[in-house]
Chains A and B, each alone.
Chain A
Amino acid sequence: MIRLHRVCKLFQGGPMKLPALNDVSFTVDKGEFVVLSGASGAGKTTLLRLLYADEQASEGDIEVAGFNVTNLRRSEIPHLRRSLGIVFQDAKLLAGRTVFENIAFVLRVLGAARHEITPKAFQALKAVGLSTRAQAYPAQLSQGEAQRVALARAIVKSPALLLADEPTGNLDEEMAGEIIDLIKDIWSRGTTVLFATHQSRLAAQLKRRTLRLDSGVLTKDEG
């Protein structure tokens, strides 16, 4: 599902080029649940951004969901992203739209048939336990609820791979537990998951294969 081979990412920092990722190689098979751990600034977000082609690698090869991301043309990026679900620490919900509209918006912009939108959106909301909050606006939601809506939005298009970038970073332990349970549930239905977190205790609790990044270098791959 994911293959990185000797990937480097350099960012321009004044006259110098600073390495954000250095010679990173790993693979994630279809159906795996992999935790990407590391302190803040270790390069987790950069790595995820490379995976969904928001950044280009300076060196190395990247393959995601059958796409050769290294040589991906700009016009092919949407095709890659359609096979991915992405959630962030910040839920990135559209403030002017209801929970239902936030989900339906994705289906609409992806060209889903009109008659499919409502049942699919409600199905996704049901999967995250929020079908009763469909008409609420993001401002009326708790952080945990907002993150669950973000998850519903990510899975509504049935992605092959879920990229979760610190989805529990803003949540208390209880809410974080709920989100992790939901992500595990999504994984159990066949979606490959790459879960990034800076919380090493959480990473340990998950008891899954863990990739550890330290200052852009992959220092651990075990589990």
Chain B
Amino acid sequence: MSEALVDLRRAGRVGVSAVLLITLSLTALGGFWLLSLNLGRAVVQWRDRVRVVVFLKDEPTPSALADLTSRVEGLDGVHRVRYVSKAEALSSLRQSLGAQSGVVDHLPRNPLPASLEVTPAEGATTPEATRALAAKLAAFPETEEVQGGAEWVEGLARWQRLFQVVALAVGAVLALAAILTVTTATTLVLHARRAETEVMRLVGASESVVRVPQLLQGMVQGLLGAVVALGLLEVAYAVGAPRLEPLLQLTLGLARAVFLSLPQILLLIAGGAILGGLGGLLARGRAVA
């Protein structure tokens, strides 16, 4: 390890550049990961809130309602059915109008229909499943109209997947640049210590003894880059999250943005070490060649 640290000092500016590039690539990767992570939470949250609403032609009698509810509950992909009477619908409208709720009192009669709020079962919240459920519900003779579905949630999920792809693409390009820079830094060090390497080989040092310092040097660069990247992400989160949270609440319904979990942080650090180590190994290959 001490050899590796001495070598890193020998690498000078190229070594620093390698650390910076690893920092950049892991910061970009981590940044996209954070976005994707929070979008993913929104998707899960909204998937839980998917409802299909069946507006009824007439307010059913208690026995007709029991019969209708049991028929709806008997359909595949239905988790729960809740009846919303005309009166309850009006009361909800009044609540959501807030200060303007007086408008409702001027209506000659309650114009809102009674409805059934159908919660799809887990696994049946995809657009296809909700469309199929809506079609079945629309075929009921009591049904006036069916609304709701999961299209927009899937739109959100598509954004999340897009973020993941962009994160991987940007991360991969920067990671490649980082690996090449570590390779260059390690190759320079190898060149500087070629006399040492020659003596090591001549006296019979095993290849692992010859190569481990190069591997460790790369890994140290990777670890340094990962730690700095995490520091930057942490600062960006601490500064940005409180400012973004009201917007997230309004648009995505997320009360707060979360940071990477401990396993994710460890994964990012390991990623840095692997990037650096890979650079070190490639340098060895070039030096041997």
Contacts and interface: CB of A to CB of B under 8 A. Distances in A.
B195 A82 contact: no
B204 A78 contact: yes
A195 interface: no
A105 B204 contact: no
Chain B contact surface mostly: helix
A107 to B, nearest CB: 9
A121 to B, nearest CB: 13
Q: How large is the interface on A (under 10, 10 to 19, 20 to 34, 35 or more residues)?
A: 20 to 34
A92 B207 contact: no
Most buried by A among B196, B200, B202: B202
A109 B200 contact: yes
Chain A contact surface mostly: helix
B198 interface: yes
A94 interface: yes
Contacts of B207: 74-75, 78
Contacts of A86: 202-203
Q: How large is the interface on B (under 10, 10 to 19, 20 to 34, 35 or more residues)?
A: 10 to 19
A78 B206 contact: yes
Nearest to A107: B203
A81 B202 contact: yes
B205 interface: yes
A100 interface: no
B209 interface: yes
A82 B207 CA distance: 13
A94 B196 contact: yes
Interface string B21-45: 0000000000000000000000000
A52 interface: yes
A92 B203 contact: no
Contact of B205 (A52, A75, A109): A109
Interface in A81-110: 81-84, 86, 92, 94-95, 105-106, 109-110
Interface of B: 195-196, 198-207, 209-210
Q: Which 10 A-B pairs have the closest CB atoms?
A: A81-B204, A82-B204, A109-B205, A78-B204, A106-B203, A78-B206, A109-B200, A109-B209, A86-B202, A94-B196
Interface of A: 52, 74-75, 77-84, 86, 92, 94-95, 105-106, 109-111, 153, 157
9 contacts: A78-B201, A78-B205, A81-B202, A81-B203, A86-B203, A92-B199, A105-B196, A110-B203, A153-B203
